[in-house]
């Protein structure tokens, strides 16, 4: 804790300098540093404490204007996991008054509203009566015991979600969607917050004060991950990570992780790895060893390049070369997959079977609708159906039948999402090219969830980017049985859609009639074009 003599010296210095003076003391009683600064700005070692241990330092400082522990003192105690922090109330003429001390409490401590416990103040001559060593040992033992208990109960990562609202009308909906993404990735969402910021902070996005609050939340809720709904720059992620001590993930990285988790086929895994490398390339330069975590998922040969560096080659150059080589390899592999899909498409064209591509926002019920069309109840014809985002990552084709048309190929595509990461759009463009070979698009919209028009617009923007927006389209308002009647009626008028329930097989005949009309119209147009071409050819002959 220090000595009465040290406390008097600090009080005198603080009075003379009219500034706070701080000393950092280790567990052996040695003074490691002296700072003319408050607790938050005091010089501290860069070594981080273990998860179940405190930092091993006690911060003793004097307040030249007197007073107990400040909010900054308590924040420094909590954020740096100090053994304790003590403030000396410097009286007139630099005489030390009462000494105020606080130490941390284990997370989940009953009866404690704060992250710390403030002890009763004592006169300066009693400063060394308190057995800080015994208190710290007991506290660390309690923290370790609580951590072991939590680990035995915890089967997945616990996440805090943050969505920054800059005035968007759908900010709350975006936060809810971020929660669904986190659940799909396997996280347990223990807290989520919508933070209004008209102007984002350059380094921390939400400001240092808000990060302190989030760190406190994570401490009490035993959270491991902090997930942001905005895309973070590499420097921002590092700064937030350093300030909170949590793993920091943004929305783009979360979506990439979900794709990596659910990718089944070889080609899907290659596409996901390609997207991950493109996204993480600026973040990985200078940290080439981390490439093994990504490369392993798709049979990567990213590891093993150590020892092959040439004379004078720097670590940065080696990292860049390894990433670029892997990107080139993946792109060549995917080109081969594109050629194979082209052969399958040509085979379908020779058979002259109409193709319907099912598109829509993720988790709108596309796979359930495909199973309903093809009467697939058992594997292997049955397509995977799950109440989660991006359950289907590769296009699946099944043959069905529509009265008046005959056999029809239905193709279930990967689900879309608003603000789809650019790297994912590029990686999956070859897969989405199959949409362009369809005769008709079946756009499935979840009519039971708020914001159906917003999700419709998000899908249309992606289709426009791919050049498919002008294709003949039938809109299916799925989950109509769970939708509010008034809301459903408005969406039917607005989107000119067909209400259906793929799960309960409601409205499927009416949807097939709408598809038959659209396919018939396409076939008549193609027939007219062929007839016109024959007439032109006859004239030239």
Phi-psi region of 505 (alpha: psi -120 to 50; beta: other; left: phi over 0): left
Mean pLDDT of 220-243: 87
- What is the maximal distance between C-alpha atoms in the chain? 115
Tens-place pLDDT, residues 326-382: 888 887 877 766 666 566 555 555 557 898 999 998 888 888 888 888 875 554 455
What tens digit of pLDDT does each residue of 127-173 get?
A: 877 777 887 888 888 777 766 766 655 667 889 999 999 888 888 88
Are 520 and 472 a contacting pair, CB within 8 Å?
Answer: no
The pTM is what?
Answer: 0.69
Phi, psi of 447 (to 5 degrees): -85, -10
Cα 74 to the center of its chain, rounded Å: 31
Mean pLDDT in residue range 309-314: 43
DSSP string, 94-122: G-EEEEEEEEE--TT-TT--SSEEEPPPE
Sheet holding 396-402, edge to edge: 396-402, 406-412, 355-360, 440-446, 473-478, 498-499
What's the Cα-to-Cα distance from 194 to each of 210, 213, 349, rounded to whole Å? 12, 13, 50
- Would you say how long the chain is, in residues? 541
Average pLDDT, the chain: 79
Q: Which is more confident, 18 or 477?
A: 477
pLDDT digits (tens, 9 = 90+) for 494-512: 999 999 998 888 999 999 9
């Amino acid at each position: 804790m220090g000595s009465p003599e040290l406390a008097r010296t600090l009080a005198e210095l603080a009075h003379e300098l009219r500034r706070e003076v701080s000393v950092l003391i280790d567990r052996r009683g040695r003074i490691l540093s002296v700072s003319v600064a408050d607790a938050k700005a005091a010089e501290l070692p860069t070594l981080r404490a273990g998860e179940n241990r405190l930092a091993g330092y006690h911060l003793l400082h004097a307040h030249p204007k007197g007073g107990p522990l400040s909010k900054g003192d308590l924040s420094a105690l909590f954020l740096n996991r100090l053994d304790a922090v003590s403030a000396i109330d410097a009286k007139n003429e630099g005489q030390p008054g009462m000494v105020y001390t606080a130490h941390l409490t284990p997370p989940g401590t009953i009866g404690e509203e704060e992250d710390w416990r403030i002890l009763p103040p004592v006169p300066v001559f009693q400063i060394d009566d308190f057995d800080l060593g015994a208190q710290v040992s007991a506290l660390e033992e309690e923290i370790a015991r609580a951590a072991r208990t939590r680990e035995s109960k915890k089967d997945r990562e616990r996440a805090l979600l943050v969505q920054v609202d800059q005035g968007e009308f759908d900010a709350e909906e975006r936060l809810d969607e971020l929660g669904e993404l986190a659940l799909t990735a396997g996280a347990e969402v223990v807290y989520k917050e919508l933070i209004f910021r008209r102007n984002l902070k350059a380094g921390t996005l939400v400001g240092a004060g808000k990060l302190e609050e989030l760190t406190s939340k994570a401490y009490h809720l035993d959270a491991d991950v902090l997930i942001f709904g905005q895309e973070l720059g590499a420097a921002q992620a590092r700064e937030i990570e350093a300030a909170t001590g949590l793993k920091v993930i943004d929305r783009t990285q979360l979506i990439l992780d979900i794709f990596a988790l659910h990718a089944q086929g070889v080609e899907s895994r290659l596409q996901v790895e390609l997207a991950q490398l493109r996204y993480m390339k600026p973040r990985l330069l200078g940290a080439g060893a981390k490439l093994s975590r990504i490369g392993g998922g798709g049979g990567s040969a990213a590891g093993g390049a150590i020892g092959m560096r040439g004379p004078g080659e720097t670590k940065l150059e080696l990292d860049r070369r390894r990433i670029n080589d892997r990107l080139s390899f993946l792109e060549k592999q995917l080109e081969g997959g594109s050629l194979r899909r082209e052969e399958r498409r040509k085979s379908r064209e020779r058979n002259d079977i109409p193709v319907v591509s099912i598109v829509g926002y993720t988790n709108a019920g596309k796979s359930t609708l495909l199973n309903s069309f093809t009467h697939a109840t058992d594997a292997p014809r049955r397509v995977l159906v799950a109440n989660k985002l991006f359950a289907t990552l590769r296009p699946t084709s099944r043959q069905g039948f529509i009265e008046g048309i005959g056999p029809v190929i239905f193709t279930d595509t990967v689900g879309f999402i608003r603000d789809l990461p650019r790297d994912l759009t590029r990686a999956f463009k070859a897969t989405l090219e199959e949409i362009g070979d369809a005769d008709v698009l079946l756009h499935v919209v979840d009519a039971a969830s708020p914001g159906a028009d917003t999700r419709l617009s998000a899908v249309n923007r992606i289709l426009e980017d791919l050049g498919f927006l002008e294709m003949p389209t039938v809109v299916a308002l799925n989950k109509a049985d769970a939708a509010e009647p008034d809301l459903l009626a408005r969406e039917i008028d607005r989107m000119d859609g067909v209400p259906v329930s793929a799960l309960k097989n409601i409205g499927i005949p009416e949807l097939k009639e709408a598809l038959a009309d659209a396919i018939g119209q396409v076939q008549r147009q193609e027939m007219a074009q062929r007839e016109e071409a024959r007439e032109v050819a006859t004239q030239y002959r």
